[in-house]
Each structure stands twice: as C-alpha cells, then as structure tokens.
Amino acid sequence: MVNKWLVGLAAALCVSAARAEVCALDDLDREVCLSAPASRIAALSPGATELVYAAGAGDRVVAVVSYSDYPPEARDVASVGSHTRLDLEALVALEPDLAIGWVTGNPAEQLETLEALDMAVFYIEPRSVDGVAGAIERLATLASTEAEGRRVAERFLSDMAALGAQYAGEASVDTFYQVWDSPLMSVNDEHLIGQVIRLCGGRNVFGELGRLVPRLDDEAVLAADPAVIVAGGMGEENRDWLDHWTRYPELRAVQNDHLYFVPPSLLQRPTPRLAEGARLLCGHLATAREDAP
C-alpha cells in the first residue's frame, strides 16, 4: 500500500513538473523551454520591450536597453546598455530567467555568453505581420499570459487586415521610404516596412533590390523619381531628413509636396503599434493618390 502511495505521489509530482514547464519556438527555430513561466525578463531591444508588454508580461520586465520608451512605464525599468552593446555585468546582476534577444541587432557573442551562463535566450525578429502576432503569442506562452497575448495579437491582425481591405485595388503610388540618412538606406519588398507600403497600395521603388536594407545614394533616388518620400527621421518628431530632398525640385515628391514623416517607432519596430504607423502611411499615400493628375 505504501509503495503504491509513493508511486502515485511520484507520478503526480512528475505531472505537476511537466505542466509547469513552458516551451516556445523562437525565430531561430529553436525550442526554448523554461522550468516555470518567466518571472524576470530582460528585453534587449526597444521592440522586444514593446512585445513583452503587449504579451501581458510587462510587470515581469526587470531590464531593458536604451530607447525602450514604450509603453511609458518601461522608462522606469533598469537599463543595461544599448542593443548594440550590452552591459553584461549589470544584466546578470538583475538575475533574469529569460532574455529576449534580437537576431540581427544584438551582438551574437554577448548573447552566447548569456547562454553559457545558463540564461535562457529567446531570439526574435518578426519579418511579417503574422510574425509580429506570432511573437506576441509565443512570448505570452513563456510568461503564461496566453489570454492577453492572444487578445492583442488578434486585434493587431484585425487592424492590419482592415487596412489591407480598405486600400485594396487602389492606384499604385511610387514610394521611397528612407530608413537612414548616412549612409542613405531604404528597404526592399521583403522587409516588413516594404510589406506595409504594399498593403497601403504603394509601389516601393527599391523593392526589387536584393538586400533587405539596401544602401543607396541621391542619384539612385533621383533616377527612381518617387511620387512620395517617407522618412523615419532621427527621433519621434524630427523631419530633418525630408529637408534634404527639397534641394532637388525636379523630384515629383518635392514638386507636389509629398514629403512625409512617420515616427520611426511606429514603422521600424515590429510591434502592435505597426498598425498605427501603417494607418499614417496609408493616409499619406492616399493624399498623394488624390493629388495625382
């Protein structure tokens, strides 16, 4: 009888432990498992910070990096350097049980060091609308906040689908999106921003280039002669990059005053706020479309 009781207890404990473990597939196609839901999370990019909060686990975030400014409460979380150079000593001292890494943004050797210290690292880099929603749901799985993560992901997908339906069939607008100024850089059609341009009825004039983020020069933009130029700028309210193009009055975008600014955090971070950035971009292209002869 005692032996049966012990066997039953052991089995129950095993079942309980199995239920406590949470696992999710990251964007490197690795299964990351935690023995219990994440309770101390380090978000190692501004986008990762937003995604963790969107997943309903903002109260678990113990470390962020510079420019992690949304939601506002994230500004009060301890910063451990920048996404390009982490302060590993400060990060490790905060004892996170999960670090959210950026595949191409964080230094690979530093993330490998964290893993060597037995810290779980979950790599993300959403490159599509579905990828953003999926990242939210997977982070929610690791934090056991599935209901909130699912709600936010579904609302985001619904918002993006509504925009796509609204602008489907509209006349194409030749668009140049400036992601950086020095060196001058844009995006191709595979980039998430390129996908948003297409959703809004735009034609990315550099969409067919091979690199995800191609480097350009002014002559390339002059040759493409876009009807619209959209810039992210440095900071959330800085339109200085657009001023540069006014020196080329022969550009269609300059002639018709179709030079638009969209706060970079709304388009350049793969988060639910992408829907807000897409709405602004679609509106700008709609204005240009209405002004077309």
**The pLDDT value given to residue 42:** 98
Token pair recorded at residue 43? 């978000």
pLDDT digits (tens, 9 = 90+) for 122-179: 999 999 999 999 999 999 999 999 999 999 999 999 999 999 999 999 999 999 999 9
Residue 19 has pLDDT above 70, yes or no: no
Are 159 and 211 in contact by the 8 Å Cβ rule? The answer is no
Identify the pLDDT of residue 240. Answer: 83
Q: What is the mean pLDDT of residues 229-253?
A: 87
Q: What is the pLDDT of residue 291?
A: 81
Structural domains of the chain ordered from first start: 20-154 (3.40.50.1980), 170-291 (3.40.50.1980)
- Lowest mean pLDDT segment, chosen from 13-17, 166-170, 283-287: 13-17
The token duo for 8 is 């039953």
Give the pLDDT confidence score for residue 2 in this predicted structure.
43
Tokens read off for 145: 């906040």
Report the range of poorest mean pLDDT among 11-25, 70-84, 107-121, 155-169. Answer: 11-25
- Indicate if the pLDDT at residue 252 is higher than 70: yes
The band of 293, judged by pLDDT with boundaries at 50, 70 and 90, is: low
Average pLDDT, the chain: 92
Q: Which of 2-6, 38-42, 175-179, 271-275 has the lowest mean pLDDT?
A: 2-6
pLDDT of residue 236: 67
Instruction: Quote the CA–CA distance of 97 and 114 in Å, as a whole number.
Output: 11
Q: Which of 245, 268, 114, 248 is nearest to 191 (CA)?
A: 268
Q: Which is nearest to 175 in space by CA: 154, 196, 158?
A: 196
**What is the reported pLDDT for 70?**
95
C-alpha pair distances (Å), 264 with each of 105, 271, 279: 16, 12, 14
At position 206, the amino acid (one-letter code) is F
User: Looking at residue 237, what is its pLDDT?
Assistant: 65
Position 11 pLDDT exceeds 80 = no
DSSP character at residue 225: -
Confidence (pTM):
0.89
Reported confidence tier of residue 235, pLDDT bands at 50, 70, 90: low
Confidence of residue 234 (pLDDT cuts 50, 70, 90): low
> How far is the C-alpha of 204 from the C-alpha of 190, rounded, in Å?
11
The pLDDT assigned to 71 comes to: 96
